[in-house]
Amino acid sequence: MKKRQTRITLYSSRNCSHCRRAKAYLKEHHIPFTEQDVERNRRAQLDFMRAGGRGVPLIMVGEQQVHGFEPRQLQRALRQAGFDV
């Protein structure tokens, strides 16, 4: 099933309220994800920059990027990846 193959990565920083909202949304909908703190983790920062990150949160749904926390845009990306949200 697509859902198990699609990797979700949340690039965030600790003082970001939009990042906290994005994380809460993913948890509320039982979406497995990996969180990468771009302030504390150098590798996460490099991956974020390579992905073209302009600001946090950046949510990678597979190869699809969701910049910022826009629930409708995130929901659309998750549905396209096979998640029930």
Are the C-beta atoms of residues 7 and 60 closer than 8 Å to each other? yes
Judged on CB neighbours under 10 Å (0-12, 13-18, 19+), 19 is: buried
- Tell me the pLDDT tens digit for each residue of 45-79: 999 999 999 899 999 999 999 999 999 999 999 99
What are the chain's domains?
17-80 (3.40.30.10)
The residues facing 67 across adjacent strands are: 58
In this prediction the pTM is 0.92
- Mean pLDDT for the chain overall: 93
pLDDT score at 56: 97
